[in-house]
Chains A and B, each alone.
Chain A
């Protein structure tokens, strides 16, 4: 039994650590612990030739490791960084990566294999038992610590001088606030930034493939076109942030296929423009099924019906894709008739 108290609860087994060590009973207890089994010698313990064979194996493994390191350096120096080779069954791979990786792997692995083989075959494998000592301190140690603590606390007078104690706690509680306040400038406040995109009345729809303004006749039934607002350039500094909200997807339906009244009003000759940013967590939607006019987000498979106000028909998205109201300007180009009327992308607390 360890130094711990014998548990009082009667549901606890009472024989921990002393399993079947019942003094007199041990002799005729068939389940008693027979003690550590006798050491069984290995072949290396009794046959010196086997031991020498093991020694040679270990030495050979260490030697292979040395050779592999030399090969690593040789490969580093000789193989050009851009050389591509065909290696079955991997296909075309970087010759340098392949050579460096395998030689480094061999150099390391052989050290490990040598050490383990050495330990398993030549070092002593006699099992030894060590005693455990309880983690808990003895009652005397505990009493001494408690007494020391009480003395220390009393000498500090922290319990008596409450004013000192309370103001100290107050000061310690307040001082981290400075650190929190300093985090304020990590970013600007959201304000209404998530409600607006670059789209505005009169902005032309620029085809992302050709970078030309779109005309209604450019949009064929059954095709999916991606567009961005006029005036957005790839090399401007906030391009990524702007396109993350303004990305647009355009399809043409037969006007009689459009089931949603508002969608029909906001379309032009069957051409509808929807935000490309999924209302779930913001992935760009990019899969379009021509026959059903369903679009699918490849990230989490939210599916929207573009012929019915882009309502969600499957998946984890919570609301329909925002539609952009479009028309045609006097020169025959497609143009936006305003910004999106609701925030694009994932929902948030203030969205409403």
Chain B
């Protein structure tokens, strides 16, 4: 092809559009860096995608719902098509939710998709966070992204709470009352906070409109910003990967964005959306018509918040009703302590990455994931946290557990009160044991090979099991993890014989480091020398 031919050739339409955009947005440089960007593949990496996609689904369906929902607490008499509620006095918020459910075609479906997606969103975030926690993906350089993710979880919980409170139904109104009672317990300013939030006494006529702007604008706006930042950082840091042949801390092994990752991840959005739509078709959620409009003097039994609020619910149900009356003031510990513990329980896991990096003093970047067993203390802490969370969920549903399992509600409450302190400790000890056991097994596998299940009888009558040496790839994978040495306090005097001052904090750090990495808290991985020695002795048994 000659040069003149090339000049006369008219670029295809797509290329001309791309040229136009490149001249203004610089898309070619962007695409050069990212179009064939490598994404490692592991099933657990899709957990974050579930969160992202359910968030998009929530935004799409939420915008649709705002077209029909009236965020007003004006009392109206219902005349819509749901017969059992006709003539009933209710707020416009409740009436318009009935309209969405019974008069707008497809409105019920969108409402149910919105609510189901919200439950899946928060659940997805917790599971995604656990994945990141147990594999150590939060280590440098990803600590900031861990915090962004944590903030998204907390904001997601409150966006959910303000969202399900909007229909002003009997169940959600009870939840709002609970929140107001909790705010009242705050020392000194509690009543003022409550009066400012509700525009006066509870329930007043303002909170639906106020929750509405918080639910559809303030919180999702912040979340959108955090989400974009979260994704930019994921892109910038590149994904982590598990150790394996060819995978090092300095590379990233996987498939290119275009086409494989785009097809898989893009396709996964439709899979998530499709499954949630199908769930919304067959499983009813928050049937507000069965609950009726809110009245502060009415309540139904079995009142349960959405699952992610079960944790604070458990705290408030299990806490003994302590009240201190002094000098004409009341300190409502029975409510205020749970109100303080609620964020503390959440934050306890959020600060772990910073504690761990302080203890190890490790300033290097980590892109290779840990197997949970290889970080026994971290894994044990994570499991203890989950155990605490589950204890509180049981506490939050104590009436349901009592009913379904025919147990005494008093004994369940006492179980939660004691279990709050005891169960995490037990979970920690048990998990650490299991991790160490698994480490020993890995070590045995490396040194002695895989159990083949073949039993050999030796000439003198002894039976032995034949072990097959592992291939090099497995040997590498099982020994690729790093092991820290515990810190030492060092000599009490420096080289000049002068007493060296060791601060309390440094002593604590050394103590923690020993708890993490000293003998008995991790099993030394097999070394090449041990391997050689055993291999040389093999065959003799």
Contact = CB atoms under 8 A, between A and B. Distances in A.
Given A189-B192, A298-B399, A299-B303, A119 B253 contact: no
Contact of A132 (B112, B250, B334, B532): B250
A330 B208 CA distance: 45
Contact of A281 (B182, B195, B254, B476): B182
Interface string A107-147: 11111111110111001110111111011100000000000
Given A16-B364, A109-B275, A352-B329, A318 B316 contact: no
Given A7-B362, A318-B334, A349-B188, A119 B259 contact: yes
Interface string B179-205: 011101111111110111111111111
Contact of B195 (A13, A15, A188, A345): A188
Contacts of B141: 135
Interface stretch (A164-172, A198-206, A235-243): A235-243
B278 A109 contact: yes
B66 interface: no
B157 interface: no
B391 interface: no
B200 A187 contact: yes
Given A132-B367, A281-B181, A349-B187, A244 B260 contact: no
B282 A90 contact: yes
A16 B485 CA distance: 14
B476 A32 contact: yes
A116 B264 CA distance: 5
A247 B362 CA distance: 61
B204 to A, nearest CB: 6
B297 interface: yes
Nearest to B37: A130
Which 4 pairs show the lowest CB-CB distances between chains A and B? A101-B281, A281-B181, A109-B274, A115-B267
B103 interface: yes
10 contacts: A13-B482, A19-B480, A35-B245, A101-B113, A102-B281, A104-B109, A112-B271, A119-B264, A123-B259, A240-B204
Q: Chain B, interface size: which category?
A: 35 or more
A105 interface: yes
B302 A76 contact: no
Interface stretch (A150-158, A216-224, A265-273, A309-317): A309-317
Interface string A279-320: 011111011000000000011111000000000101111110
Interface string B383-424: 000000000000000110000000001100100000000000
B202 A244 contact: yes
Contacts, number: 393
B330 A352 contact: yes
Interface string B90-126: 0000000000001111101100110000000000000
A243 B274 contact: no
B361 A35 contact: no
B93 to A, nearest CB: 13
B454 to A, nearest CB: 23
Interface string B485-499: 111100000000000
Given A112-B267, A115-B264, A194-B191, A241 B200 contact: yes
A98 B277 CA distance: 10
A187 B296 contact: no
A193 B263 CA distance: 61
Contacts of A34: 245-246, 472-473, 476
A317 B321 contact: yes
Interface string A313-352: 0111111000000000000000000000000011111111
A31 to B, nearest CB: 5
Main secondary structure on A side of the interface with B? loop
A37 B75 CA distance: 70
Contacts of B297: 208, 226, 228, 243-244, 247, 276-277, 284
Nearest to B531: A30
Interface of A: 2, 4, 7, 9-13, 15-20, 29-37, 76, 81-82, 90, 93-94, 96-102, 104-116, 118-120, 123-125, 127-132, 134-136, 183, 186-190, 193-194, 208, 226, 228, 234-235, 237, 239-241, 243-245, 247, 276-277, 280-284, 286-287, 298-302, 312, 314-319, 345-352
Given A16-B482, A36-B253, A111-B267, A298 B245 contact: no
Contacts of B318: 316
Interface in B238-268: 238, 245-256, 259-260, 263-264, 266-268
Contact of A30 (B104, B197, B296, B475): B475
A188 B200 contact: yes
A100 to B, nearest CB: 5
A108 B301 CA distance: 38
Nearest to A246: B297
B460 interface: no
B174 A128 contact: no
Nearest to A301: B409
Nearest to A248: B297
A276 B256 CA distance: 64
B483 interface: yes
A2 B185 CA distance: 53
Contact of B364 (A2, A31, A118, A186): A2
B360 interface: yes
B482 A104 contact: no
Nearest to B203: A240
A35 B244 CA distance: 9
Interface string B352-378: 000000001111111100000000000
Looking at A15, A131, A281, the one whose CB has the most chain B CB atoms below 10 A away is: A281
A348 B190 contact: yes
Contacts of A240: 203-205, 294-296
B252 A319 contact: no
Contacts of A280: 181, 321, 334-335
